[in-house]
Amino acid sequence: MNTIMATIEYQGDLRTQATHLKSGQKITTDAPVDNQGKGEAFSPTDLVSAALCSCMMTIMGQVAQREGIALQGLKADIVKVMTSAPRKIAEIHVHFTHPNLVATDVQKQKLKNAALTCPVALSLNEALKQVVNFDF
């Protein structure tokens, strides 16, 4: 049986608030300025991009735990490229950096493979270009 994991309420002015039921954590979204919004919070498409990166990091963290790699300090910059007709995410660029990562070349490859095959990456439409770079 599937369980409800979140509820989302429309707040008005192109804003929503999602509540994670187990933890009570809340996420507010706002339409971006270039799409009639205030741009005062993540947009839904921002969250898709952030979810991709967060999922990649989480799966990399699982590999790091198994391999005894200290992954703390891993950071990423995300760029989202939108198209206008139709309005959709065309590309997500993720650039990972960890200047002090101590890992063998084999372990680094395992981390990269984990990121590229995370559940979010595999769930997104193939038409959405994922550009992922690793600087470690």
- Domains of the chain, with CATH numbers? 6-35 (no CATH), 44-135 (3.30.300.20)
111 Cβ contact partners less than 8 Å away, ≥ 6 residues apart: 60, 63, 64, 69, 71, 103, 134, 136
Mean local confidence (pLDDT), 22-40: 94
Q: Per-residue pLDDT tens for 80-105? A: 999 999 999 999 999 999 999 999 99
Indicate if the pLDDT at residue 1 is higher than 80: no
Q: Per-residue pLDDT tens for 117-127? A: 999 999 999 99
- Average pLDDT across the chain, whole number: 96
pTM (two decimals): 0.94
Nearest-CA neighbor of 40 among 29, 48, 55, 26? 29
Mean local confidence (pLDDT), 4-21: 97
Hey, CA dihedral for 116, 64, 79, 47, is it positive or negative?
positive
Contact present, 90 and 68 (Cβ < 8 Å): no
Q: Is 1 helix (H, G, I), strand (E, B) or coil?
A: coil
